[in-house]
Amino acid sequence: MYYDIPILNIVALTIKNNTMNNLSLYGWNELLLEQKRNSIYKDFVHGRISITHKTCYEVISEMGDYTCELTGNMIYGRDKVEFPCTGDWVIFQPIDTDKGIIYDILPRQKTLYRLKSGRISEKQAIASHVDKGFIVQSLDQNFNVRRIERFMIQLADENIQPVLVFTKSDLEFNKNDVEESLNHLAHKIPIFYTSVHFPDTIEKLREYILIGETVVFTGSSGVGKSTLINKLCKQEVLLTNSISSATGKGKHTTTRREMVMMGEKGILIDTPGIKVFGVTNDDADTLSRLMDINSFTEKCRFKDCQHMNEAGCAVIKAVEDGELDRGVYENFLKLRKEAWHYSTSVHEKRKVEKSFSKMVKNVKKNPFKKF
Ligand SMILES: Nc1nc2c(ncn2[C@@H]2O[C@H](COP(=O)(O)OP(=O)(O)OP(=O)(O)O)[C@@H](O)[C@H]2O)c(=O)[nH]1
Ligand SMILES: [Mg+2]
Ligand SMILES: [Zn+2]
């Protein structure tokens, strides 16, 4: 079901006293207010999406929490990637004490996107208005520097501060090996070693999250994202994969993107574990800077060197001389190729859409002509 016409004053807006929310704790600010004033729906209610379901959204507003659907205009008038995601600020009209219809989304910023897996190159918005991106890896089997680089490049595209959070530091691991493989990244990203069994490591991380700041947690399934969020919030706000000692049950893998409040301090967004996190950032300069190879790229003979097989390529020479890690170099090529592939297919798609809409216009003008 969807709605197109604003249902003004049909339902008395009942304020639910028990669920009044102070939105400034959720990051509401002057800029967002200004943006709301520019919307034709400025007289409606605003709120932030806390959970994204398949066809509806949980929205937190000053008047309480609502489950909302989209208007038909929003469903049919936008690309999937422009549909609301967790963390978005939206304008909606309550139609009941706990139901509403979303009419507009305030301009997105600092959004974590990923390349959707599948044949068609499609971006997916995971979380928006994000200040920090916690790249979570567990120190048992999950540590993988190539995956860290992958997340970092994607976060850089939207100016989200990357933070590396290791979990399960109570388990056996070789800290020297970990630190050595992070040499080229260490000065670009804060690193935390945490364990649910060492409360001071959780406390340090909690202090790092500031009031009103939004943090998204990303990483493979089972690394302990939901467990860590529960510890930071000092309560079981999310289901985790741990076995409950009381029931012996509790296998639960996260399936939705959900926002929770950490005390009255920060806003934490949990996400399901993703096997391969595809990138869409095709900015080669950012990539070479992040991977710490820009000191070599500057010395290449040709300005437009692609660092693949060109004569006088300082990057290839650095790999041959052992100055640049081969793994870093190969991941650089891989990430760049992936992002190129994405942007080329987006470009192609736009071209097809443009020629299609041109054809539709022409048909409307001259319905009997053959095109
Ligand atoms: N030893 C140890 N185990 C932990 C730690 N943190 C989490 N775990 C365990 O790791 C398992 C997975 O935890 P979850 O929090 O569900 O993992 P997740 O990253 O949310 O996984 P998905 O929701 O599937 O993406 C559970 O059995 C936790 O008890 C830790 O610091 N040390
Ligand atoms: Mg989880
Ligand atoms: Zn080169």
> What total number of domains does the chain contain?
3
Residue 9 lies in a domain: no
Q: Answer whether 169's CB lies under 8 Å from 198's CB.
A: yes
Q: What is the pTM of this model?
A: 0.87
Q: Where in the sequence is the domain holding 60, given as residue range(s)? A: 17-105
Could you tell me where the beta strands, DSSP code E, fall in 253-338?
258-262, 266-270
Indicate if 256 and 187 belong to the same structural domain. yes
Indicate if 63 and 135 belong to the same structural domain. no
Residue minimizing CA distance to atom 29 of ligand 1: 242
In whole angstroms, give the CA distance from residue 92 to residue 104.
7
Indicate if 94 and 146 belong to the same structural domain. no
Residue 357 lies in a domain: yes
CB of 183 closer than 6 angstroms to any ligand 1 atom: no
Could you tell me where the beta strands, DSSP code E, fall in the chain?
45-52, 57-61, 64-70, 89-94, 99-105, 112-115, 123-127, 132-138, 161-167, 191-193, 214-218, 258-262, 266-270
pLDDT of residue 330: 94
* pLDDT tens track, the chain, 371 positions: 444 444 444 444 444 434 578 899 999 999 999 999 999 999 999 999 999 998 899 999 999 999 999 999 889 888 888 999 999 999 999 999 999 999 999 999 999 999 887 666 788 999 999 999 999 999 987 899 999 999 999 999 899 999 999 999 999 899 999 999 999 998 999 999 999 999 999 999 999 999 999 999 999 999 999 999 999 999 888 877 775 545 544 567 888 899 999 988 899 999 999 888 888 888 888 888 888 899 999 999 999 999 998 999 999 999 999 999 999 999 999 999 888 888 777 767 666 666 666 666 666 666 666 55
Q: Answer whether 112's CB lies under 8 Å from 195's CB.
A: no
Name beta bridge partners: 260: 268
Residue minimizing CA distance to atom 14 of ligand 1: 224
Indicate if 208 and 328 belong to the same structural domain. no
Given 105, 121, 140, which residue is the final one in a domain? 105
Residue 76 lies in a domain: yes
Indicate if 288 and 306 belong to the same structural domain. yes
Q: Answer whether 27's CB lies under 8 Å from 132's CB.
A: no
Residue 6 lies in a domain: no
Nearest to 93 by CA among 7, 3, 2, 1: 7
Q: Answer whether 166's CB lies under 8 Å from 174's CB.
A: no
The token pair that represents 178 in the structure block? 């970990």
pLDDT of residue 370: 57
Residue minimizing CA distance to atom 3 of ligand 1: 168
CB of 244 closer than 6 angstroms to any ligand 1 atom: no
C-alpha distances out from residue 5 to 73, 82, 89, Å: 10, 21, 21
In whole angstroms, give the CA distance from residue 74 to residue 301.
50
Indicate if 37 and 72 belong to the same structural domain. yes
Provide the sign of the torsion angle of the four alpha carbons 34, 35, 36, 40, taken in this order. Answer: positive
In whole angstroms, give the CA distance from residue 317 to residue 321.
6
CB of 237 closer than 6 angstroms to any ligand 1 atom: no
Residue 368 lies in a domain: no
Q: 347: CA distance to ligand 2 center in Å?
A: 35
First to last CA, the chain: 37
CB of 223 closer than 6 angstroms to any ligand 1 atom: yes
Indicate if 180 and 36 belong to the same structural domain. no
Residue 352's domain is classified under what CATH number? 1.10.40.50
Residue 198's domain is classified under what CATH number? 3.40.50.300
Indicate if 195 and 260 belong to the same structural domain. yes
Instruction: List CB-based neighbours of ion ligand 2 within 5 Å.
Output: 225-226, 254
Provide the sign of the torsion angle of the four alpha carbons 343, 348, 352, 355, taken in this order. Answer: positive
Within 13 Å and on the Cβ side, how many CA atoms surround 215? 28
CB of 226 closer than 6 angstroms to any ligand 1 atom: yes
Residue 50 lies in a domain: yes
Indicate if 247 and 215 belong to the same structural domain. yes
pLDDT of residue 31: 95
Residue 181 lies in a domain: yes
CB of 241 closer than 6 angstroms to any ligand 1 atom: yes
Instruction: List CB-based neighbours of ion ligand 3 within 5 Å.
Output: 300, 305, 307, 313, 315
pLDDT of residue 117: 73
Residue 57's domain is classified under what CATH number? 2.40.50.140
Given 226, 244, 270, which residue is the final one in a domain? 270
Given 105, 140, 171, which residue is the final one in a domain? 105
Indicate if 197 and 122 belong to the same structural domain. yes
Task: Tell me the three-class secondary structure of 83-94, residue by residue.
Answer: CCCECCEEEEEE
Residue 350 lies in a domain: yes
The token pair that represents 13 in the structure block? 């807006």
In whole angstroms, give the CA distance from residue 173 to residue 3.
55
Residue minimizing CA distance to atom 9 of ligand 1: 224
Provide the sign of the torsion angle of the four alpha carbons 253, 255, 345, 106, taken in this order. Answer: negative
Write the DSSP string, 127-141.
E-S-SEEEEEEETTT
pLDDT of residue 308: 92
Indicate if 339 and 243 belong to the same structural domain. no
Q: 152: CA distance to ligand 2 center in Å?
A: 21
Indicate if 239 and 174 belong to the same structural domain. yes
